[in-house]
Structure 1
Amino acid sequence: MDAIILAAGEGARLKGWTSDKPKGMITLGNAPILEHIVQGLSKSGIQKINMVVGYRKNLVMSYFGDGSKFGIKINYIEQSTLSGTLDALKLGLKDISNHFILVPGDNYISSSSFLPLISNEKPVLLAGKADRWSKWGEIEFVGSKAKITFDNPEAFGRLHFTGIMKLDIDIAENLISADGRHIGEALQKIEEDVNFDVIRSDYWHNIVYPWDLIDGNRLALQNLFLSKSGKIERNVTLKGPISIGSGSVICSGSYLEGPISIGDNCVIGPNTFVGSSVSIGDNTRIGAFCEIKDSILMSDSVIGSYNSIVGTVVGNGTETGTNVIANPSNRQVTYLDHTVSLSNRGSMIGNRCNIGNRAVLDGGSILLEGATIGEGEVYNADFQGDTI
């Protein structure tokens, strides 16, 4: 059986983190979102992937190559104009097997979620619970028949279509002919003619806004591959599942409580606490006497001494001074004209930001790429620009 991955989009709502890469290359658990998908399909027995690429396609193609290092064959098809998921599906049908798995390439899904789809003889929709309305639609049952609806604005805890499905070429061609705005809407138009099974996954997370990365990272770290290749100095405590990359150093007096993923060539401490659900990208330096919990620190970041960073995303190449505080809170946030209520979230800091000594970032603060926060500033706004 083959698979199609739709990976052409930029991820406009994550533009503080996608100027140099597509959304699917943002890392969760120190691996790109797309890598989690490719590895999952390979482990589930899929032989070939048609990956539809577009925005920053060369980065995706150079990372995955022909797929051989992931145990799978990957073909690339370019969507030169980003004209939607139905057009991408049409492009992906080239030389595909009659039955195949369709996967959007920009949401986290665990490898174990694919096997029930592959083993089912019928067409299948994969469902998951969402914290907000999903663009793919909610799944309701009328008798034994699954239906897609976009009518109910109350999303929390309801069963939503993930965009992941098992189908055949005939169903795919009917979806394309139905001419909806996207796959979820097209499904509405053909659902009377197709009897889909529905399988639920508890290991899917809808990545739409920056704060979604925190929950996706937590899920990814539940499947952490353990490796300790770095140097661990004296009087370091390691507790729980922790992966430490090659060339990394955990300095004396530090305490790490997993799950934690640390990339290559990182330096942590001395006397720093790293709590659970933390991913630290390659070449990142964390100074002395810091507290880091429930956060993503992307590659090439520099975190000064005496920082407290909790529930926060720190983009590639960002630098913070000493005594910086970015702790979580509960508040309403307006981001790209969309207002949401955030619970226990810290700051969302884009790539290549610079944060001065003693700055305080209130929970829910959003800094897009290249933002600068001055020394001693207290920042609690919904940030939309490039500088402050």
Structure 2
Amino acid sequence: MKALFLAGGLGTRLRPLTEHLPKPMALVGNRPWLEHLLMHYNEQGVNEFVIAVKHYRELIESHLGDGSKYGVRIDYAVEKELLGTAGAIKNAEHLLNDRFIVVNADIIHQVDLKSAMKFHENHGGAVTICLTEVDDPSHYGVVEQTGNGRITRFIEKPKKEEAPSNRINAGIYIMERSALDFVPAGRSVSIEKETFPLLIENGRGVYGHPIGGYWMDMGTKERYRQLHWDLLDRRFPVKIDGKDMEDKGIWLGENVRVGQGVLFVPPVMIGDDVTIGDRAIIGPYAVVGKGSRIGNQVRLSNSILWDRCKIRGGAQLNECIFGSGMQVGPHILHEAVCNRTLEVQRR
């Protein structure tokens, strides 16, 4: 089985963090989400991957390579221009098998692939759309299904009280190669608005299967924060690198240097090669990236730092998200999201 990861787009709503970075490469728990995704599907038995790339493709290729360091094989399908979801799949058709998995790579999720594959094999249709259930479906495209799971239509952003279900497209598909006969080549094609309705109209069998478990679109800064708090609280059970100190929700990576009088208020995640100055207070809900330097008497809470950040002594940071290499002078910041050098002097 091959999996196709759609990683060509930019995360416009996560800017400035993803201003020069594909959204699937945003760090989740000090590791690019695309790497987590690769490992998750490999654990489910997938060992061949195709990654559809467009913007900043060299960042993805330089990090993941050919997949050999993960024990898998990775091929790349390059889009000269963005082709939409179905167009990107069509562009990668020559690298795919008769049956394959498609994953929107910026969706945070964990899926029971065995269950979804069994459902797909049993119904015999062209596509299985993995579904997730939401409390308020009015912000999404909702599916209408028959009793056996066959999808009859999609309803875009219905009123909550008028929605036929609370099930929405989770951005994960199991597809037969024959479905691509309904996708024109060489132009942008929406799988949700064009391909799926066309397959339904032609009786090719589009079915929906609820995946359960964790699911989140990390496309906003608020959801990106919540994803990390869920990770630290273990509601999202992705692997956390580092040793959990006495099982107290304080994860420390390798070669972490901790000064005198430092207080960790769990949950806290500290990456490799981090230095923390004397009498700093870290947490609750703090993620510190690899190679970062935290000065003396820094107060850091409800914040996420990517790799190689430098926080000068005396700074107080709350609800901040800083991209890699940020330098912050001694000041107080609340709800800041930055991806460039920031020097704010104490007033």
From the superposition, tell whether residues 45 and 130 of structure 1 become closer, same or farther in structure 2 (CA, over 3 Å). same
Return the alpha-carbon distance in structure 2 between the equivalents of residues 108 and 134 of structure 1.
Answer: 20
For 2:67, the equivalent position in structure 1 comes to: 67
| CA pair 307-188 structure 1, distance change in 2 beyond 3 A | farther
- Residue 113 (structure 1) aligns with: 112
Secondary structure in 2 matching 1:31: coil
- Quick check: 1:28–1:279 contact (8 Å CA) kept in 2? no
The one of 336, 339, 346 equivalent to 1:369 is 339
1:223 equivalenced with 2:223 (yes/no): no
Residue 148 of structure 1 aligns with an amino acid whose one-letter code is F
- Residue pairs, 1:35-184, within 5 angstroms: 35-110=35-110, 112-120=111-119, 121=121, 122=123, 123-129=127-133, 137-141=141-145, 144-146=149-151, 147-152=153-158, 158-175=166-183, 182-184=190-192
Q: Which amino acid aligns with 1:191?
A: I
Q: 1:117 to 1:142 in 2, by over 3 A?
A: closer
- The one-character-per-residue Cα deviations of 1:128-177 (angstroms, maximum 9, x if unpaired) are 2458879973334355543432132669x943211101111122332558
Residue 301 (str. 1) matches residue 257 (str. 2):
no
Matched, 1:209 2:223: no
Q: Relative to structure 1, is the Cα distance of residues 180 and 56 closer, same or farther in structure 2, using a 3 angstrom cutoff?
A: closer
Distance 1:240 1:176 in 2: 54
Over the aligned positions, Cα root-mean-square deviation in angstroms equals 3.3
- Report the alpha carbon displacement of residue 311 of structure 1 after superposing the two structures with TM: 2.6
Contact 2:271–2:291, Cα closer than 8 Å, also in 1: yes
User: For the Cα contact (< 8 Å) 1:133–1:154, is it kept in 2?
Assistant: yes
Query: Relative to structure 1, is the Cα distance of residues 294 and 128 closer, same or farther in structure 2, using a 3 angstrom cutoff?
Result: farther
| CA–CA separation in structure 2 for the residues paired with 1:136 and 1:303 | 41
Q: 1:223 to 1:182 in 2, by over 3 A?
A: same
Seq. identity, %: 21
Q: Within the alignment, does 1:312 sit opposite 2:303 as a pair?
A: yes
Aligned to 1:322, the other structure's residue is in SS state coil
Counterpart position of 2:283: 292
1:272 to 231, 246, 263: 263
Q: Which has the higher helix share?
A: 2
- Greater shift, 122-131 or 97-106, is seen at 122-131
1: CA distance between counterparts of 2:100 and 2:138? 23
Q: Distance in 1 between matches of 2:265 and 2:113?
A: 32
Task: Report the TM-score, using the length of structure 1 for normalisation.
Answer: 0.72
Residues matched between the structures, number = 328
Deviates more, 1:113-122 or 1:180-189: 180-189
Listed one character per residue, the Cα deviations across residues 321-341 of structure 1 (whole Å, up to 9, x for unaligned) are 3343333xxxxxxxxxxxxxx
Task: Note the residue ranges of structure 2 that are not aligned, 5 or more in a row.
Answer: none
